[in-house]
């Protein structure tokens, strides 16, 4: 009955039997039976197709086996007549192999060339910012100890070479001198040094492997080492930090001196010294153009050996001979550094000022006329009024052009014990005859300080706190009226102020001495 219905019959039954409760159940049962029938028919079809595929695979396998058996039977019969063909095919195989080898080489070359091209590709440089560690006393001491340990082999080697040059061990120095001169004479100096380097590396390898070898090419000069203390007090730690800072300061100073001397040597700061180097370079250039390198190397090697073993030994024992005839030593010691050049320039400027002051002193007593009156009519004013009124000076006393606005500083009067009088903030001025300090605190003019330049007994640069790095930011002025020098500290332009005060002081003292004479 299910097959006899059309597509419109189930819906007509459902419409006609809507009032009955079994209509929906009847319809769902029929749909379930139809679905099962469809699934069974699909499964049967799939099984049939699988059987067909299996049969086809078996037939193909049988055919392949038959073909292989036929070929295996034909191979032994065809081996004898096929020999000349194999010889003919050998050349073809060789051509194929050579072709494959060439293609492989070409492919390898192209790959390598591509890699090199990729390596030479320009890329933007990455700006890496190194993070700086914060200042730490412990880290500073540790870095200094690391530096000392790292530089110890180099310093020991230099000390041992100096001991070899000083004939610390006579037999060792004599043997080294004979071997070196013989090697230079026969042209074996470079192989000798290379052999010594290889020997040193071999000994270091054996020492690293656990061998106990205590042998050196040059005599060892060791210094007693103090064991580091573990438990340190606060004062000892502070003193250790100061020692480390002092060593670093001295090391940087020595390095700066060496670099400045080399720079001044090539910049013709001392023409008579650089002229010797200039002539030596020209002589070496001409000799290298005309003489063979064997003779030049022999001459240089013999000179180096004689100077290292004999001349330096004599010069170290006789300082007067060294000061007269040791040309490299004389040139190096006479080369100035930048601070020395600055001191020399200041000395020449002060001498010129003294001579100019002595010459102009005769004309200074003459009347100046109208221009003088016009010049004195222009008063310099400070924050509290006219300059000469603030400091109770004559009207012709005005600050110099260099310090027209003054230098900010603090006056430290170490003779006073009260905090309010011990340190005062203010501005420092220099006139032709006076050193004036104006206090920034409001009040009477008693807080200001006026020092006559001729009353100054000593003036020098001063460092208020010796713990801080650098040369300080203060100027110490000594007068007969004070037990301890007055200190003008915390000056940003300390060097400029010191030069101005010192030059004016020299000018006034030279003028006063010439007037008295």
Span 151-167, pLDDT tens digits: 888 888 888 888 888 88
Answering whether pTM is above 0.75, one says no
The answer to whether 343 touches 498, Cβ cutoff 8 Å, is no
- The interaxial angle of helices 234-266 and 271-290, nearest 10 deg, is 60
Calpha distance 249→415 (Å, rounded): 33
70-85 confidence digits (pLDDT tens)? 777 765 555 544 444 4
Calpha distance 498→99 (Å, rounded): 88
pLDDT at 279: 92
Is the pLDDT at 26 greater than 90? The verdict is: no
Contacts of 242 (CB under 8 A, 6+ apart): 467
The answer to whether 412 touches 435, Cβ cutoff 8 Å, is no
Structure token digits, residue 418: 């009260």
Q: Give the helix/strand (H/E) hosting 346.
A: helix 338-364
Calpha distance 452→158 (Å, rounded): 56
Which comes out higher in pLDDT, residue 99 or 410? 410
The mean per-residue pLDDT over the stretch 4-22 comes to 47
354 — pLDDT class (breaks 50, 70, 90)? low
pLDDT at 27: 54
pLDDT at 73: 73
Calpha distance 116→114 (Å, rounded): 5
- CA 23, 26, 29, 31 dihedral sign is negative
375 — pLDDT class (breaks 50, 70, 90)? very low
Q: Cβ atoms within 10 A of the Cβ of 389, count? A: 14
The mean per-residue pLDDT over the stretch 143-152 comes to 82
Detail the DSSP E strand segments found in 239-329. Answer: none
Nearest to 142 by CA among 68, 206, 228, 235: 228
Calpha distance 173→312 (Å, rounded): 13
Q: Is beta strand 458-462 parallel, antiparallel or unpaired with respect to 449-452?
A: unpaired
Is the pLDDT at 23 greater than 60? The verdict is: no
Calpha distance 517→506 (Å, rounded): 16
Instruction: Tell me the HSE value of 420 on the side-chain side, using a 13 A CA sphere.
Output: 5
The mean per-residue pLDDT over the stretch 126-151 comes to 74
Q: Give the helix/strand (H/E) hosting 170.
A: helix 170-185
pLDDT at 11: 46
Calpha distance 217→169 (Å, rounded): 12
Is the pLDDT at 126 greater than 70? The verdict is: no
- 3-class secondary structure, 475: strand
Q: Among all chains, which residue has been given the structure tokens 């915390």?
A: 490
Which comes out higher in pLDDT, residue 119 or 168? 168
Q: Cβ atoms within 10 A of the Cβ of 200, count? A: 12
Structure token digits, residue 358: 């002595």
Which comes out higher in pLDDT, residue 382 or 156? 156
Is the pLDDT at 195 greater than 70? The verdict is: yes
The mean per-residue pLDDT over the stretch 110-137 comes to 69
451-502 confidence digits (pLDDT tens)? 988 888 888 888 877 656 566 788 999 888 888 888 888 888 888 889 898 8
Residue 356, CA distances (Å) to 65, 91, 403, 498 in order: 126, 107, 21, 20
Residue 353, CA distances (Å) to 280, 402, 429, 454 in order: 40, 16, 20, 16
Calpha distance 396→419 (Å, rounded): 35
């Amino acid at each position: 009955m299910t097959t006899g219905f059309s597509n419109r019959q189930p819906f007509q039954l459902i419409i006609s039997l809507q009032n009955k409760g079994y209509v929906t159940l009847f319809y769902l049962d029929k749909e379930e039976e139809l679905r099962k029938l469809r699934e069974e028919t699909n499964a049967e079809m799939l099984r049939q197709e699988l059987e067909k595929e299996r049969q086809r695979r078996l037939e193909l396998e049988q055919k392949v086996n038959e073909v292989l058996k036929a070929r295996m039977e034909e191979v032994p019969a065809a081996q004898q007549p096929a020999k000349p063909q194999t010889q003919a095919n050998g050349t073809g195989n060789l051509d194929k192999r050579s072709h494959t080898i060439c293609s492989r080489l070409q492919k390898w070359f192209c790959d390598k060339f591509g890699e090199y091209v990729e390596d030479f590709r320009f890329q933007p440089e990455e700006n890496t910012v190194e993070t700086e560690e914060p200042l730490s006393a412990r880290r500073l001491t540790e870095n200094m100890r690391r530096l000392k340990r790292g530089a110890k082999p180099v310093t020991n080697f230099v000390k041992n070479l100096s001991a070899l040059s000083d004939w610390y061990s006579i037999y060792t120095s004599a043997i080294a001198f004979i071997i070196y001169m013989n090697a230079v004479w026969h042209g074996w100096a470079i192989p000798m040094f290379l052999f010594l380097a290889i020997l040193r590396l071999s000994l270091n390898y054996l020492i690293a492997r656990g061998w106990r070898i205590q042998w050196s090419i040059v005599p060892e000069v060791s210094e007693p080492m103090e064991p580091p203390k573990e438990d340190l007090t606060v004062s000892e730690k502070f003193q250790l930090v100061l020692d480390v800072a002092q060593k670093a300061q001295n090391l940087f100073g020595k390095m700066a001196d060496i670099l400045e001397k080399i720079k001044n040597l090539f910049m013709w700061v001392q023409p008579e010294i650089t002229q010797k180097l200039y002539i030596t370079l020209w002589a070496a250039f001409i000799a290298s153009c005309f003489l063979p390198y064997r003779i030049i190397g022999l001459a240089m090697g013999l000179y180096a050996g004689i100077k290292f073993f004999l001349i330096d030994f004599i010069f170290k024992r006789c300082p007067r001979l060294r000061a007269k005839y040791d040309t490299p030593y004389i040139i190096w010691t006479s080369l100035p550094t930048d601070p020395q050049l600055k001191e020399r320039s200041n000395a020449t400027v002060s001498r010129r000022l003294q001579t100019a002051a002595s010459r102009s002193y005769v004309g200074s007593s003459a009347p100046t006329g109208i221009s003088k009156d016009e010049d004195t009519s222009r008063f310099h004013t400070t924050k509290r009024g006219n300059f000469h009124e603030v400091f109770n000076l004559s009207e012709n006393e005005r600050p110099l052009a260099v310090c027209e606005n003054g230098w900010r500083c603090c006056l430290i009067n170490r003779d006073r014990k009260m905090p309010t009088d011990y340190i005062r903030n203010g501005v420092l001025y220099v006139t032709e005859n006076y050193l004036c300090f104006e206090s920034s605190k409001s009040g009477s003019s008693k807080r200001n300080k006026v020092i006559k330049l001729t009353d100054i007994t000593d003036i020098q640069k001063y460092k208020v706190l010796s713990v801080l790095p650098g040369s300080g930011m203060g100027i110490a002025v000594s007068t007969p009226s004070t037990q301890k020098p007055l200190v003008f500290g915390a000056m940003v332009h300390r060097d400029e102020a010191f030069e101005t005060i010192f030059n004016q002081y020299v000018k006034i003292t030279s003028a006063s001495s010439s007037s008295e004479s």
